[in-house]
Amino acid sequence: MKENPLFTAISETEPQFLRETERVRQKGKRRRRQLVGSAGALCLLCLLGGGWLLAQEQPIEEIPVSSLSSTQPSGQGVTIPESQGIPGDGALSSFRCPALFYDGREYLGTAFLSDDSLLSTRLGTVETPLGEIEYGNRQSLLSSPDWETYYEPAGTTAGDFFSVEGYDPEFLLCMEESGQLRLFLSGEGRTFFTGEDLFGKLFSAKGRVKRLALGTDSKSLSGEPEDFLQALCQSPAIPKSEIPQEIPREMVLELTDGVSLPLELYSDGYVVLSGLWEVGFQMEKTDFSPWFQQIPPAE
């Protein structure tokens, strides 16, 4: 077996170190401090030398920077891409829900707001729906020369829009639509690692869940809503493209402040917030199934 150079270096140093220690013991304290310091330095040099020899035989494996931080979330997360600008005619007709373009961001409509007391600052007004403006005029009137920042608000529906009390306006806005108040979401540029990043941080939903209900007739579901939310917040984020295509079952998570979150539930534990379709969250089946089974399949 090959001799370990670090062990050899320490073994050869030990007798000399003991003799040196015995000799300095016979001298004064002042002399002892000097020689012990010298012997300690000699021992340290030998150890460093042996360690250097050992390192030559066994190169140290580099540790990835990402693994050095205990706060680094596992996985890469899902990042919502930036808006591609004011849509063309074909894109307008393919929108799954109303859209609002404001301050360089694209917001997509989701549930309605039941309490108008949450309306904060009026940020602007969409005078004419985009579908009623010719595409060429759309670009020249609503976009800057570099086509990246919207000078004026635009949307697929007309009306005033507001910030929502208690929520980041870069994430959530509210717009008057046919006498109702519709919420608009924007996840642009945000990265989601778990449901906590969405429901726990952006919505601050923990401890504020009023109930879980069917998305079709608002019938309350049986169970503890906070338990569902807790499990959802712990669920990892995945790209929506990885969720098997099927007709989802609909459920609404109602908060005590009047904000409702329409959820799409897919088999195998997948949950998507309507209006934020680029990302989903995969729950543990034991937490997911009791709720999923209460919702009738879409006809």
pLDDT tens, 198-211?
A: 999 999 999 999 99
pLDDT band at 61; cut points 50, 70, 90: very low
Contact 103, 173 (CB under 8 A): no
- Between 191 and 22, the more confident residue is 191
pLDDT at 68: 27
Give the percent of the chain with pLDDT over 90: 48
**Angle between helix 5-25 and helix 29-57 axes, rounded to 10 deg:** 180
Alpha carbons 198 and 229: distance in angstroms, whole number? 11
pLDDT at 11: 43
pLDDT at 281: 98
Summarize the confidence of residues 227-241 as an average pLDDT: 97
Alpha carbons 38 and 16: distance in angstroms, whole number? 12
Looking at residue 160, its amino acid is: D
Looking at residue 58, its amino acid is: Q
pLDDT band at 77; cut points 50, 70, 90: very high
pLDDT tens, 21-59?
A: 444 444 444 444 443 444 444 444 444 444 444 444 444
Alpha carbons 175 and 161: distance in angstroms, whole number? 4
Q: 0.85 exceeded by the pTM?
A: no
- What is the rounded (10 degree) CA torsion for 233, 239, 240, 245? -110
pLDDT tens, 235-274?
A: 999 999 999 999 999 999 999 999 999 999 999 999 999 9
Per DSSP, the three-state class of 2 is: coil
- Between 153 and 120, the more confident residue is 120
Residue 147 neighbours by CB distance under 10 Å: 12
Summarize the confidence of residues 130-154 as an average pLDDT: 62
The residue among 175, 194, 193 whose CA lies nearest residue 185 is: 175
Give the percent of the chain with pLDDT over 70: 64
pLDDT at 96: 60
pLDDT at 139: 59
pLDDT at 38: 46
Is the confidence at residue 191, as pLDDT, over 50? yes
Summarize the confidence of residues 86-95 as an average pLDDT: 53
